[in-house]
Amino acid sequence: MKFKLAQRTQKLLPSPTLTLNARIKQMQAQGQDIINLTAGELDFPTPKNVCAAAKKAIDEDFTKYTASGGTTELKKAIVAKFKKDNQLNYTVEQVMASDGAKQALFNAFFTLTEPGAEVIMASPCWGTYVEQIKLSGAKPVMIKLKPPFNLQAKQIQTKINKRTRVILLNYPANPTGATISLTELKKIAELAVENKIWVIADEVYEKLTFKLENFISIASLNSKIFKQTITINGLSKAQAMTGWRIGYAAGPKNIIQQMEKIQAQITSNPCSITQKAAIQGLKKGQAFQKKAQINLKKRRDYLVSELSQIKQLSFSEPQGGFYFWVEIKPRYKKSQIDSIKWCQKLLKKTGVAVIPAEAFYAQGGFRMSFAANLNDLKKAMRRIKSFLDE
Ligand code: PLP
């Protein structure tokens, strides 16, 4: 007799980035010179004021359980952030903190969907969405975007049916860096309201746009869409706090209550020390964000000029985030590039690590992070060019 395992976890895909990173570490341990452009995190240290707040929390023994959805002090800081940055007027009961935006997203999918429900989303996409939706028993319904990857309402409209429960938006997007225009956001909001469909808006790259003042939260467009949007954000990308695990969600009170209930039974509160650090990051994060933006823009501009000269590759200029989505032009018209093999070969021959398109539900290209210093990016470009010229 065989021991049985749950189907749902057997069907779950491992994180391709983590698998790739294990291979990279192994190669580095063997002494190979690797330029790792797979990172989903900024290469800057967490701001000092944020770290100081965490140290103070430890010294003051702020090290016990808190309310599952975060302390009132943190919730107030989240409310103030939404008001100041996004013109969103949430109450303390309408927000919660989580162990990263990832957990906030899971809480939202688990609350809003169930077997038989459909979630409309765009690809190329961050793979975690697909796995979380599947874990909730629902079905991801993909809109396959083409360059420049700006999602349009009419594409969503063709996928709506009576099973549609959620429209998932992520802008600026991982992995393409594409955003959604205000005109399209308004149309998407109209569609969602007309058809009574929830919107989950993942705004974690909000602070890393190259035109910061232009970011618009869909929930801020009008009072109707406000009532049916769950806004997700976090400090991983905005304050270089990936390891601290802190994200947050906002939405209607009854939905946030359900999401807190799930969290209370799964992980309880996000780390108490991190919560104190996050308050600093939320209140005093602007200087760091400005610095990060200037730095990232320099790297982005460098890569735009370099990549434009490589005839074997095409790319879309990222409008936010810190990734380039690069497509590999096949040598022969009808051939199809196997990007997994291509990226493996690139890594083996040049030591440059990028993530193949397949990890993002796409083909024929790769995601290249520019959260790496300019010298490494220059070295990587030289190596990629000579690899392609071989
Ligand atoms: N949303 C998107 C689009 C991401 O790319 C990531 C991380 O890569 C997250 C959410 C998760 O962020 P966190 O570290 O807050 O869980």
Q: Decide whether any atom of ligand 1 lies within 6 Å of the 132 Cβ.
A: no
> In the chain, where do the E strands start and end?
35-36, 95-98, 118-123, 139-144, 164-170, 198-202, 229-234, 247-250, 313-316, 323-328, 352-353, 355-356, 365-369
pLDDT at 2: 84
State the pLDDT at residue 13: 80
User: Does the structure show a pLDDT above 60 at 192?
Assistant: yes
Q: What is the DSSP string of 237-259?
A: TTTT-GGG--EEEE--HHHHHHH
Least confident of 23-37, 190-204, 375-389: 23-37
pLDDT tens string 16-45:
777 788 888 889 899 999 999 998 899 999
Q: Each residue of 333-358: b (16+ CB within 10 Å) or e? A: eeeebebbebbeebbeebbbbbbbbb
If one residue of 132, 204, 267 were mutated to test the ligand 1 pocket, choosing by the most ligand atoms within 8 A of its CB, it would be 204
Ligand 1 pocket test target in 126, 176, 203, 360 with most atoms within 8 Å of CB:
126
- pLDDT attached to residue 40: 87
**pLDDT of 47 above 90:** yes
Q: What is the pLDDT of residue 213?
A: 60
- In this predicted structure, the answer to whether residue 333 has a pLDDT above a threshold of 80 is no
Q: How far out from the chain centre does Cα 202 lie?
A: 7
Closest CA to 273 of 3, 39, 71: 71
Beta bridge partners of 369: 323
Q: What is the mean pLDDT of residues 131-138?
A: 95
Question: Which tokens is 390 given?
Answer: 């071989």
Atom of ligand 1 nearest to the CA of 170: 3
**Overall average pLDDT of the 163-180 stretch:** 97
pLDDT for residue 22: 82
Q: Could you read off the pLDDT of 216-258 as tens digits, one per residue?
A: 999 999 999 999 999 999 999 999 999 999 999 999 999 999 9
Is the CB of residue 245 less than 8 Å from the CB of residue 272? Answer: no
pLDDT tens-digit profile of 141-159?
Answer: 999 999 999 999 999 999 9
The alpha helices in 270-310, defined as continuous H runs, are 272-283, 286-307
Confidence of residue 334 (pLDDT cuts 50, 70, 90): low
**Three-class SS of residue 387?**
helix
Q: What is the pLDDT of residues 262-284, one digit of tens each?
A: 999 999 999 999 999 999 999 99
Q: Which atom of ligand 1 is nearest to the CA of 102?
A: 16
Q: Are 156 and 188 in contact (CB under 8 A)?
A: yes
Judged against a pLDDT cut of 60, whether residue 212 lies above it is answered with no
Q: CA–CA separation, 175 vs 323, rounded Å?
A: 6
Q: For 119-123, 166-170, 205-209, which range has the lowest pLDDT when averaged over its residues?
A: 205-209
Residue of 17, 174, 230 best suited for mutating to test ligand 1, as the one with most atoms within 8 Å of CB: 174
Peptide bond into 175 cis (omega under 30): yes
Residue 203 Cβ inside 6 Å of ligand 1? The answer reads no
Q: What is the pLDDT of residue 179?
A: 94
126 lines ligand 1 (CB under 6 A): yes
Query: What's the pLDDT score for residue 196?
Result: 98
| Cα separation, 24 vs 17, whole angstroms | 10
What is the C-alpha separation between 214 and 13, in angstroms, rounded? 35
Residue 265: the pLDDT is: 97
Ligand 1 centre to CA of 338 (Å) is 26
CA 90, 91, 95: angle at the middle one, nearest 5?
75
Mean pLDDT across the chain: 94
Q: Is 171 helix (H, G, I), strand (E, B) or coil?
A: coil
What is the DSSP code (8-state) at residue 373? -
pLDDT of residue 286: 92
Task: Give the N- to C-terminal CA distance of the chain in Å, as an integer.
Answer: 54
* Among candidate residues 211, 139, 147, the one with its CA nearest the CA of residue 176: 147
Tell the residue number behind the tokens 């063709």, with chain if given: 158
Average pLDDT over residues 82-90: 97
- Confidence class of residue 187 from pLDDT cuts 50, 70 and 90? very high
Q: What is the dihedral of CA 153, 192, 70, 282, to 10 degrees?
A: 40
| Ligand 1 near 102 CB (within 6 A) | yes
Give 76 Cα–ligand 1 centroid separation in angstroms.
Answer: 22
In whole angstroms, give the CA distance from residue 359 to residue 21: 13
pLDDT tens digits along 335-349: 778 888 999 999 999
Place of tokens 């701001």: 47
Asked if 316 contacts 124 with a C-beta cutoff of 8 angstroms, the reply is no
Question: Does the Cβ of 100 fall within 6 Å of ligand 1?
Answer: yes
**Residue 338 and residue 248: Cα distance in Å, rounded?**
37
pLDDT at position 19, please? 76
CA of 22 to the centre of ligand 1 (A): 20
CB within 8 A of 28, min separation 6: which ones?
Answer: 34
Cβ contact 89:83 at 8 Å: yes
Show the CA angle centred on residue 95, arms to residues 89 and 98, nearest 5°.
145
329, pLDDT greater than 90 = no
